[in-house]
DNA sequence: TTGTATGCGTTATCAC
DNA sequence: GTGATAACGCATACAA
């Protein structure tokens, strides 16, 4: 651990520590000769500036903290990836903590993050766990949350599930469906409710009525998709379009349709939500909405950086739209 | 920012900074009275120790760096999760960097990590990208790599693909198959080669010959699984068992079998590798080997910690075995 | 263009 | 039991 310090470099180069510091930061003019010499010594000695000392001195660590609940969720890890990408382009680094580490006590986790001189924090809530936000405590550094509002005072990035649901309906209608059904996710989930709400709104806007018997209450799991399809078809034999509020259920529905001999898409068109990796590979590849993970990550970093650098006081919710991915399950 | 310092607490409590420090660390006896008072003031003022100053002083940051190539890969994020879990239990934290941040220049990334006073580093290579290791440069802190040996001098955790392939064959044979086929992954991939090697070794050990025409060269993608199945069945109409070197190909194979009217598992048993989330949901759920991500994470942290704390000089490769997950595709 | 001196917030080594 | 005080490695105001 006996590391080489700036003093060592200075001595070896026959200059003062300050000079070495300035060579590194470029914050004041240095003669070409000394710069070259110092640089050479730095390489020779393998000197690495000590980050802790720097941070201690400058109060700007150039790193942002990311607190993620469960990043086993594919969505979460994709968002993190995008966060890192953008952060990196702006010469920021990521200090990462999973909520698990703090038993999902957000306040505690943030307190921990505050000890590091982080320039800002992004809280990334999971979508599958409806973990409560809880109080976030007193936070005096820039903070942005994703997937769930952290507090009134902090900006939040959300996927536009409402719009996605709306577009799903639009897509089915424009594909010629006249009697469309809906398999919802769990009522407790915000995303689930929003998707359904958007879907129904579109039907209403296009002047259709939607009988209750065309709706089935699923739970986002595969089996409920299959069960939903069977039940809906039983009650509405002429149903010709179906929106499942996520891809897991859509997969179940497509498979169940096959079992019943209901040909997709000829007799029934099906669309899901999430664009999971298996959706395009399914025996009948099915249409879906691609959740805007990458853009959500980008948006979060951008607003965070503008809070840090621009010193602005951003706030409010930003919705990011999903992308429609049409596949065989809804083709004419 | 981290406004309140130890000095402030000390002044408010009418004691010296040193006392506050010792209250916090418990490294020397403090009278019950002062301890209580100091603690109260700390809470009242909301004091948080400054991590940078601590690290600067003590040379032990209690955090380990994790350098991951592409953690969009589900395997990678699962390993990270497990790493964090174990690290956390030992009161270590994670400083996380993705290789992308450094254009996958491992040396550069490590140099960056070295600037933080990290107590150790885990390099987590992706499985899908066959990114070269490159030189890792001079590393004077404990280092463990996962998925690929970083250098002779550093310990490495690998999944036991050979054993997995072996067990896949065993499983097919014990399920009664007599003419088993193999769809390999790309030759360039170490994991792919190992899986095939283990598979063939088992056949050999059990005294069977394996004609070349029962092997098809896939590429780990869905389509090659389907193509492989069709081709193999064409040449060997009596093939009754098939090992696909990953689940993606197994999915393709299962679907293709359905298309051809070859009933799985009655006429043909199929097994994959990876235990992807869709494997158990596939119209015909298929057997597979569950890659030992969690255990790999645990192993990496454990050996790293024993290097850090025990100051031991671990080395060599540790193979972690996969778990067999039997499903309908191979049932009797 | 370069050097000197001071302090960032802790911990640890002395003293008392 | 407790209090001064010197580092830790660096950045920068102030000198030269």
Rounded CA–C1' distance between A131 and D9, in angstroms: 42
Q: Is the pLDDT of residue B8 over 70?
A: yes
Residues B229-256 have a mean pLDDT of: 96
What is the per-residue pLDDT across A211-249, written as a single tens digit (0 to 9) for each?
A: 999 999 999 999 999 999 999 999 999 999 999 999 999
Q: What does the pLDDT read at residue B150?
A: 83
Q: Comparing A71-75, B158-162, B303-307, which segment has the lowest mean pLDDT? A: A71-75
Q: What does the pLDDT read at residue B1?
A: 44
Three-class secondary structure of residue B176 per DSSP: coil
Residues B234-258 have a mean pLDDT of: 96
Three-class secondary structure of residue B59 per DSSP: coil
CA distance A48 to chain B (A): 6
Q: Is the pLDDT of residue B275 over 80?
A: yes
Q: What does the pLDDT read at residue A133?
A: 61
User: Is the CB of residue B61 less than 8 Å away from at least one CB of chain A?
Assistant: yes
Chain C nucleotides reached by a protein CB under 7 Å = 1-5, 7-13
Residues 6 or more apart in contact with residue A102 via CB below 8 angstroms: A108, A109, A112
The residue with greater pLDDT, B142 or B201, is B201
Residues 32-91 of A with CB under 7 A from strand D: 47-50, 53-54, 56-58
- What is the rounded distance in angstroms from the CA atom of residue A14 to the CA atom of residue A19? 10
* B325 preceded by a cis bond (ω within 30 of 0): no
What is the per-residue pLDDT across B65-92, written as a single tens digit (0 to 9) for each?
A: 888 876 656 677 788 888 888 887 787 8
Query: In this structure, is the CB of residue A19 within 7 Å of any atom belonging to strand C?
Result: yes
What is the per-residue pLDDT across A88-135, written as a single tens digit (0 to 9) for each?
A: 778 788 887 776 656 667 777 787 777 777 889 999 887 655 555 666
* B92 preceded by a cis bond (ω within 30 of 0): no
Give backbone dihedrals phi and psi of B274, rounded to 5 degrees, phi first.
Answer: 130, -30
Residues 6 or more apart in contact with residue A313 via CB below 8 angstroms: A307
Give the predicted TM-score (pTM) of the model.
Answer: 0.78
Residue A299: both structure tokens together: 């948006």
Average pLDDT of chain B to the nearest whole number: 88
- What is the rounded distance in angstroms from the CA atom of residue A106 to the CA atom of residue A99? 7
List, as ranges, residues 98-127 from B with C-beta within 8 Å of A: 98, 100-101, 111, 114-117
Say what percent of chain B tops pLDDT 90.
50
| Angle value at C-alpha A242, between A237 and A245, nearest 5 degrees | 140
Nearest to A98 among B52, B81, B251 (CB): B81
Query: What residue ranges define each of the domains in chain B, with the CATH number in brackets?
Result: 6-57 (1.10.260.40), 61-159+293-320 (3.40.50.2300), 161-291 (3.40.50.2300)
- Closest alpha carbon within chain A to B255: A283
Conformation bin of residue A131: beta by default, left when phi > 0, alpha when psi is -120 to 50: beta
């Amino acid at each position: 651990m006996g590391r080489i310090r700036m003093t060592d470099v200075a001595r070896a180069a026959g200059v003062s520590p300050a000079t070495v510091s300035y060579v590194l930061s470029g914050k004041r003019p240095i003669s070409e000769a000394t710069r070259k010499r110092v640089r050479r010594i730095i390489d020779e000695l393998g000197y690495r500036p000590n980050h802790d000392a720097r941070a201690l001195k400058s109060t700007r660590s150039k790193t942002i903290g990311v607190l993620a609940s469960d990043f086993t969720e594919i969505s979460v890890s994709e968002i993190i990836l995008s966060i890192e990408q953008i952060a990196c382009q702006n010469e920021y680094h990521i200090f990462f903590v999973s909520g698990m580490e703090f038993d999902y006590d957000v306040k505690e986790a943030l307190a921990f993050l505050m000890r590091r001189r982080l320039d800002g924090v992004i809280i990334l809530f999971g979508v599958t766990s409806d973990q409560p936000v809880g109080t976030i405590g007193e936070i005096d550094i820039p903070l942005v949350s994703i997937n769930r509002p952290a507090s009134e005072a902090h900006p939040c990035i959300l996927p536009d599930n409402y719009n996605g649901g709306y577009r799903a309906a639009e897509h089915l209608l424009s594909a010629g469906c006249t009697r469309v059904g809906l398999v919802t996710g769990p009522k407790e989930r915000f995303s689930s409710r929003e998707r359904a709400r958007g879907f129904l709104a579109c039907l209403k806007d296009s002047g259709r009525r939607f009988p209750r018997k065309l709706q089935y209450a699923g739970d986002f799991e595969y089996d409920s998709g299959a069960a939903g399809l069977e039940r809906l078809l039983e009650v509405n034999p002429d149903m010709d379009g179906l929106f499942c509020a996520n891809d897991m259920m859509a997969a179940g529905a497509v498979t169940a349709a096959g079992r019943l001999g209901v040909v997709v898409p000829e007799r029934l068109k099906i669309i899901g939500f999430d664009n999971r990796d298996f959706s395009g590979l399914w025996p009948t590849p099915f249409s879906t909405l691609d959740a805007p993970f990458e853009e959500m990550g980008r948006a979060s970093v951008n607003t965070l950086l503008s809070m840090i650098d621009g010193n602005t006081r951003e706030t409010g919710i930003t919705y990011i739209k999903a992308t429609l991915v049409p596949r065989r399950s809804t083709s004419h």
